Chain A
Amino acid sequence: MLGNDRLMELLRKLVREGEGCGAGQSEVLYVGSHNSTTRFANSIVMQNIKESNRTIYFRVLLDKKLGVTSTNSLHIEDLRKCMKKAIEIARQSKPLKFFDGFPMPYKYQEMKTHYPETTDLTISDKVKVLEHIFKKTNFAIHNPRSAIKIGGAFSTSEAEIGIVNSNSLIAYQPFTSAHLSLITSSSSGSGFASQFERNAKNIDIDRLLSISIKKCRTKKKRRLKPGRYKVILEPIAVNEIMEWLIYISFGASVFIDGTSFMAGNIGKKIMSKKLTIYDDGSDISGFPVPFDFEGVKKRRLDIIKNGEATSLAYDTILAKKCRKKTTGHALTPDNIEGPFPTNVFIKEGDFTIDEMVSMVDRGIMVTRFHYVNGLLDTKTASMTGMTRDGTFYIEDGEIKYPIEDMRFTASILNAFSKIEVISKGRQTFPSPYSIVGTHIIPALLIKDFNFSDS
């Protein structure tokens, strides 16, 4: 970690050098990360990965012409070369008629996002945790013939983000995160549980292990006929769908190209009134982030409000192009697909998952999906994917038995119009589009959901 003072000194100097080299306006973004992951499978630790990376992105604006470069070499000659390359690219580019400059300074909310308990965790500490998990898995075996194997990953990371631009915008924030995922498998099935936290101390290892073992130590799986069923999607399964909804519809780029189901529907009811999807990096009850990757202050953005399509995520460039205001969702400049919401919430409901199960006469409970694809028809958010690691048949308000994995092929617009109940409890997942983003997601009870023929 470079820390606020040293990093700001470096970034200010680079901005000044950029202006001195002929850049009209310049912006320097630093993203430093230190990640450590221990992977295990078959109840054996098999991989350890520790990596430290530091990337500096330059954006220069010259007579409305933009140049973007990046490097992870902190060698001064490479940094200067990179900056000059950005100026050269800008000179060779066509002007962006609509774009007039980088963001102005903001006063950011103070928030705690860095926990020493996470960075202090050593490889020996992690190995001890895993030894505990392996032992508990062995103790859980009542019948030697139904041995449980455990796999997963335990990762911790530390990141710092700093931004300085020619408009005197200055932003800095350090972050930590810890993520434990467990997959248990036995001859009768498999189970999964995971937890994502900023503070590693908050990870409840025994709870995760208990959930995962309970899911895999069940009766023999039965096969269920494809068709439409009432379904409870646990938060992990909902999050897999949410990742695709964000990708195909909640960002400005897909709105502009017309493929988003939000295009032509702003202000219209497109999902259940019970459903509110919003993005809020400023919510300190979640996993807050003070600014986006160009320093714009985070604030709440309603995407779907009570079922109505409300707004999309913009960065400064696409906002200007569409004559809108940025919503503070710029990604790192090497991302060609964004902007995307990266601090996503689904508003919580009132019931526990057990209560939701008790409301189902005949239906299916899905722990998790595998390989969801949301490109079948983006206008109806039609998606397909397979269930995995715990799919159960529910009858008369009780989980009856595990079932073979099934393929779903469903319009999520249609499915999310038929949401009956949303769980009170929500789970946090890392965003695939930002190293500091999260999704905070409940379970959903959906009236009917299409499981297709395989």
Chain B
Amino acid sequence: MENGIEKGHKMTYTTLTKYSFINVLEHTISYLKKKGVAYADIRLEESVSEGVMVRDGEIDRLWDNLDTGFGIRVLFKGAWGFAASSLLTETESRKAADEALLQAKAVGSLKQKKVSIDKNLPVRFKHKSPCHVDPFIIPVEERLYPILKATSLHKNCRQYKKIHSIEGFMDFQKRHKTFLNTEGSFIEQEIFLSGAGIKVIAIDGRDVQVRSFPDSHNGIFRQGGYERIIEMDIPNNAPRAIEDALLLLKADECPSGERTVILGGSQVALQIHESIGHAVELDRAMGMEVSLAGGTFLTSDSIGTRICSDIINITADPAIEVGAGSYIYDDEGMEAKKVEIIKNGRFKNFLTSRETAKSSGMKPNGSVRASNWSNIPLIRMSNINLEPGEGRLNDLIADTRDGILLQTNKSWSIDTLRLNFQFGTEIGWEIKKGRITRALKNPVYFGITPQFWKSCNAVCDREEWQMYGLNNCGKGDPIQNISVGHGAVPARFSKVKAGAVKC
């Protein structure tokens, strides 16, 4: 076997290391400038990741992955082209540049509105997200200890005989991204992402109940190293999840009706994600994602209008250190900025790209990312956060005469305009006269986005504020899954339709 494995007619293929390939990409940028492009950028990405699933104290799946490649985006005579390859060769780089140009020329031949973007100043920047304990150098058994321990707690315990299984998940990723463009920018960013969680499955006949810790859908993801896993303290929190799952088997169904609902922090994070975060993406508002992800109920005329109660303040903040969606520069070379999304209940800003901002008379706010080298950058949420209010969760419960506390997302569904939603949670807690009286199973709640957020009458304080994160937010075609963060606190809503699943 030779150094590179693909050989072609009149072409020399030599696979290069990431470092030597950067010189090739600089030449490619010069080449594209000579070809007269209005703009071009290149992202070279290398991602090392490890994923693990354990079940009942034993490893079920474990894999380690190295993923490398580059993508070239070209704007030529008002049309975009994008080509990407995993082969780091000089020939492949030229081929991708030519392919992206060819695409732009082909589309440019159509009689359609031409794309333009404003110029940006060149940026030279290097960033490495904090990683205090490198997960990749910890031996497998030691690294997996928290989830191996937590998922074996039920074994050989008579009182846990209805715990059918406990699954555990752990994921680590180190992504190094080099960005260069025809404006002279050269930006290097290295980001560590770590996440873990457990899922307890209790079964009694046909009743299946699930409790997760620290969150559902494989846990919480945050930037940082193994210290993020240690912070979760999964083994010591697992018994509570087991007890809750068993409690749910005996619990009553959540009664139906219109009532006061307190959402736990992680469910508020999901509510923000689905009904606010996606709704404020400008490409959706412009109809650009209509075929798959859909549109949004917001238009440019919505700016300044009230869509939440006046105690709601929501920001997009890509610069938070632990956020799963944090970065310093986005994938168009724009500096990440904290952006006000909702201010005192009123809609303030969309998340924008250079293209959508220019065509809408707005400003780009550094909200564009691609899930990896092979994908075109799109408008994506970074960390969309609910700013804290006043009081602790216990105060909120004590202040609630008749309501339910809903915790940990189980199911999620929302329409194409991000209006009509139905979300389910793993557990509900009945609140009577300021006290939790019993657990409730299979709760769902539903509503229409602005009415729901306008009914919010309490938001907990900074002591309750936590950064949640998921690694599978999907958008685009081909679908791009990306990590997104949400800072959230428990919040209370009035006159919410809730109940158990009724089919």
Contact = CB atoms under 8 A, between A and B. Distances in A.
Q: Do A and B come from one complex?
A: yes
Interface of A: 2, 6, 10, 13, 35, 37, 39, 41-55, 57, 66-76, 78, 81-82, 85-86, 89, 92-94, 123-124, 126-127, 130-131, 134, 149, 151-153, 155, 181, 183, 185, 253, 256-259, 264, 333-336, 370-380, 382, 384-386, 388, 405, 407, 409-411, 414, 450, 452-454
B86 interface: yes
Given A74-B86, A336-B53, 5 more contacts: A44-B110, A44-B112, A48-B100, A54-B86, A155-B477
Interface in B273-305: 286-292, 294
B1 interface: yes
Contact of B446 (A73, A149, A181, A454): A454
A72 B66 contact: yes
Contact of A41 (B66, B81, B288, B374): B288
Given A376-B424, A377-B442, A384-B411, A39 B3 contact: no
B173 interface: no
Given A75-B3, A336-B53, A51 B71 contact: yes
A383 to B, nearest CB: 9
B290 A185 contact: yes
A156 to B, nearest CB: 12
B192 interface: no
Interface residues on B, range: 35 or more
B4 interface: yes
Nearest to A318: B60
A411 B503 contact: yes
Nearest to A410: B503
A45 B201 CA distance: 47
A376 B86 contact: no
15 contacts: A53-B86, A54-B86, A55-B67, A68-B62, A72-B86, A74-B86, A89-B64, A130-B110, A134-B110, A149-B287, A151-B291, A153-B477, A377-B442, A386-B414, A454-B448
B444 interface: yes
B422 A384 contact: yes
B53 A258 contact: no
B6 interface: yes
Contact of A71 (B60, B66, B139, B478): B66
Contacts of A134: 110
A137 to B, nearest CB: 13
Contacts, number: 257
Contacts of B63: 57, 68-70, 333-334
Given A75-B3, A92-B140, A257-B167, A39 B106 contact: no
B413 A48 contact: no
A407 B420 contact: yes
Contacts of B255: none
Given A257-B201, A452-B502, A409 B422 contact: yes
Interface string B433-473: 00000000010101010000000000000000000000000
A377 B208 contact: yes
Contact of B208 (A10, A181, A378): A378
B416 interface: yes
Contacts of B169: 336
Interface string B139-179: 11100000000000000000000001101010000000000
A382 B503 contact: yes
B411 A386 contact: no
Given A39-B477, A74-B15, A93 B140 contact: yes
Contacts of A372: 413
B207 interface: yes
Contacts of A123: 102-103, 106-107
Contact of B165 (A50, A130, A256): A256
Contacts of B99: 50
A405 B415 contact: yes
A151 B295 CA distance: 12
Contacts of B60: 253, 336
Given A71-B65, A71-B67, A46 B87 contact: no
A49 B82 CA distance: 5
B2, B64, B286, most chain A CB atoms within 10 A = B64
A127 B102 CA distance: 12
A31 B55 CA distance: 28
B503 to A, nearest CB: 4
